[in-house]
Amino acid sequence: MKRKVGLTLLALLLSLSMFGCSSDGSSSSGKGKNSGLRMLMPYSRFDPNKDFMASYIQEKTGVQVNYEMLPAENFDEKLNLLVANKEPIDIMKLSSGQFYQLASSGALEPLDELIDEHGDYIKSAIKDSTWGSATIDGKIYAIPEAGSGASAGEALVVRQDWMDELGLEAPKNPEELYTVLKTIKEKKQIVPLTGAKDSIYGDIASAFGIVNDWEDQNGKLVHKAEHPRMKEFLSYMNRLYEEGLIDQEMPINTAAKAIEKFTSGKAAMYKLAWWNSTNTVNSLKQNFPDAKLSVIPYLQDADGKASVGINTGITWFIAIPKASKHKEEAMKLLNAKLAPDVFKGLAIGDEGVHHELKDGKYYPILPKFNEDLTNGSSYMTGTDEHKYPEYWQARVRKEPILQSYFEAFQKEAEGHLVIDPMSLAPPIDAVNKNKLKLMKLLDDNVLKFITGAEPVANYDQVLEQWYAEGGKDMVKQANDWYTNR
């Protein structure tokens, strides 16, 4: 009996180890099984090998690609594991942080020669000024994928029905905003302005001149943290907070929570992102059929000037790792995807099937557009910068509420857009290393000042800490680039 049990155990162990091997053979990691290219993309919620776009790309370019995604969380971790393992991936779509980390650890292939040889479409699709963001020490390490162009994302919206009831006008500047909020609080006994913990600045900060992360002041780059009017802004916000004019729970509100408070009538004003407009408007209508919503024009500073800050920096970088075994084929594919007609197909599908042209604007044909193209942007590997903003707006036009808020925001922002001067900066060591950490340090402390957990007078100490933990280097290296650009 003993022997029998022992044998059974042994057999079990053996079959288990077989199990490990055999299931790897059938996995989709693509090793050996099929000869296509391997492309790594950031997470999005769909099966990238079964999507319409995957077969569309194969059909248009004749190249078979096996797609893999990074996980939704711990994506940097997983990417590093793949690199540490010298995984032979051919194309990687990376965030700017990931791109810099891999490029500086020597894991990426310089692309200059490959682009010269196989990249005609790439060269005409991407503007000269954009290449800088992917260039390190004079060498190009990725194809920068520009986004949908400069547009305003958020604006303050207010319950117009209450404003009318109280006879209030839309506020034009911080002082008027204060009065409006105070009146709402006194008359309606509710939180006048709610917001989420991760969107502190926006409109109100802009009215104090704090428009973007970086600003050009007399030819010198100044970071938001060093902005001379930061304390003024914080004192103002602190006053709103102390007097109960901003939601006391703002430091713990998620975006969803802020929407919840606004749509359930617990708050009168909040900063709406246009992509949340459908949800917000529908929920508000359900709870208060008579509710009216209006967009507050962007607040003006003391000189009567309104500014809307935006960053047109590159979000995605398309790189070819050194470990790739098909570098030329990879570049050829990237080039083929930027051929004008192929790229248009990738962006908005086929005319008459996925989109139609009305008054010079592209409109989606529903539901076909949604069925086939919802995940399209995940497959993008570089965009035709001259055409993409125009194509992309088809996505906004698939729903009337969405479209109306997007357009309303853009109309308000027209002529007020201020582009962050660091948008087109190349990867800068001290910036890339410290950016996220310092942003968190600053935002955390800004929340402390606003809520009064720390007196605004202590801001200078925070700035000292910010400098000491890398801010000094960051500002210096950013300026080194800016003056020599």
Partner 1 sequence: MNRQQFWKTLWLDVRKDYSLYLLLIPGMLIVLLFKYTPMYGIVIAFKDFNIFDGYAASPWVGLKHFEKLFTSPDFLLVFRNTLIISVYKLVFLFPLPIIIALMLHELKQLLFKRVVQTIIYLPHFLSWVIVSGLFIDLLSTNGGLINKLLVSLGMEPIAFFLDTSVFRGLLVTSAGWKEVGWSTIVYLAAFATIDPQLYDAAKIDGAGKWKQLLHITLPGISSTIILMLILRLGSILEAGTEQILVMYNPTVYKVSDVIGTYVYRMGLGNQDYSFTTAVGLFESVIAFVLVITGNALSRKYLQRGIW
Partner 2 sequence: MDTRLKQEQASIRKTPARKRSSSRDKGSLGERLFQIFNICFFIGMGLTTLIPFVNLIAKSFSSEAAVVSGSVNLFPIGFQIGTYRYVLQDILFIQSFRTSVIVTVLGTLLGLLFTTLTAYPLSKLRLRGRKWFLLYFIFTMLFSGGLIPTYLLMQELKLVNSIGVLFLPGMVNIFYLLLIKNYFEGLPESLEESAKIDGAGHLRILVSIVLPLSLPVLATIGLFFAVQYWNDYFAAMIYISNPEIKPLQLFLKEMLVASSNDFLKDRVDAALNTTPQSIQAASILLATLPILLVYPFLQKYFVKGVLIGSVKG
Residues near partner 2 (CB under 8 A) are 1-2, 5-6, 12, 16, 19-21, 23-24, 27-29, 43-47, 49, 68-74, 77-78, 80-81, 84-85, 147-148, 153, 196, 198, 254-256, 259-261, 263-264, 273, 275-276, 279-280, 282-287, 315, 374-377, 395, 402
Q: Which does 106 bind (CB under 5 to 8 A by kind): partner 1, partner 2, none?
A: partner 1
Residue among 59 and 73 whose Cβ is closer to partner 1: 73
Q: Does 106 bind partner 1 (CB under 8 A)?
A: yes
Residue among 268 and 284 whose Cβ is closer to partner 2: 284
Q: Does 7 bind partner 1 (CB under 8 A)?
A: no
Q: Report d(CA 443, CA 72) in Å as an integer.
A: 24
Q: Bridge partners of 193?
A: 246, 269
Q: Does 433 bind partner 1 (CB under 8 A)?
A: yes
Q: Report d(CA 92, CA 318) in Å as an integer.
A: 6
Binding positions for partner 1, 288-307, rule CB under 8 A: none
Alpha-carbon separation of residue 110 from 104, 318, 382 (angstroms): 12, 12, 17
Q: Does 444 bind partner 1 (CB under 8 A)?
A: yes
CB of 281 to partner 1, least distance (A): 22
Q: Does 357 bind partner 1 (CB under 8 A)?
A: no
Q: In the chain, count H helices and then E strands.
A: 21, 17
CB of 443 to partner 1, least distance (A): 8
CB of 456 to partner 2, least distance (A): 27
Contacts of 264 (CB under 8 A, 6+ apart): 283, 287
Q: Does 213 bind partner 1 (CB under 8 A)?
A: no
- In this structure, what DSSP letter does residue 457 have? G
Q: Which does 7 bind (CB under 5 to 8 A by kind): partner 2, partner 1, none?
A: none
Q: Report d(CA 371, CA 43) in Å as an integer.
A: 19
Closest CA to 319 of 122, 36, 108: 108
Closest CA to 383 of 332, 337, 321: 337
Q: Bridge partners of 318?
A: 93, 143
Q: Which does 183 bind (CB under 5 to 8 A by kind): partner 2, partner 1, none?
A: none
Q: Does 447 bind partner 1 (CB under 8 A)?
A: yes
159: helix, coil or strand?
A: strand
Quote the distance between the C-alpha of residue 390 and its chain's center. 19
Q: Does 325 bind partner 1 (CB under 8 A)?
A: no
Residue among 58 and 254 whose Cβ is closer to partner 1: 254
CB atoms within 10 A of CB 38: 22
> What is the length of the chain?
485
CB of 436 to partner 1, least distance (A): 3
Among 432, 463, 466, 475, the residue binding partner 1 under the rule CB under 8 A is 432
Residue pair 147/104 in contact (Cβ under 8 Å)? The answer is no
Q: Phi and psi dihedrals of 91, rounded to 5?
A: -135, 135
Q: Which does 447 bind (CB under 5 to 8 A by kind): partner 2, partner 1, none?
A: partner 1
Q: Phi and psi dihedrals of 135, rounded to 5?
A: -105, 125
Contact pattern for partner 1 over residues 60 through 99, marking x by CB under 8 A: ----------------xx--x--xx------------x--
Residue among 86 and 476 whose Cβ is closer to partner 1: 86
Residue among 52 and 288 whose Cβ is closer to partner 1: 288
Task: Scan for tokens 């009318």, then name that residue.
Answer: 164
- Residue type (1 letter), 429: D
Strand (E) or helix (H) holding 133: none
Task: Annotate 34-72 with DSSP letters as a single string.
Answer: S--EEEEE---SS-TTTSHHHHHHHHHH---EEEEE--S
Q: Which does 453 bind (CB under 5 to 8 A by kind): partner 2, partner 1, none?
A: partner 1
Q: Report d(CA 97, CA 452) in Å as an integer.
A: 33
Q: Does 9 bind partner 1 (CB under 8 A)?
A: yes
Residues that bind partner 1 (CB under 8 A): 2, 6, 9, 13, 76-77, 80, 83-84, 97, 101-102, 105-107, 191, 197, 247-249, 251-252, 257, 261, 266, 432-437, 440-441, 443-445, 447-448, 451, 453
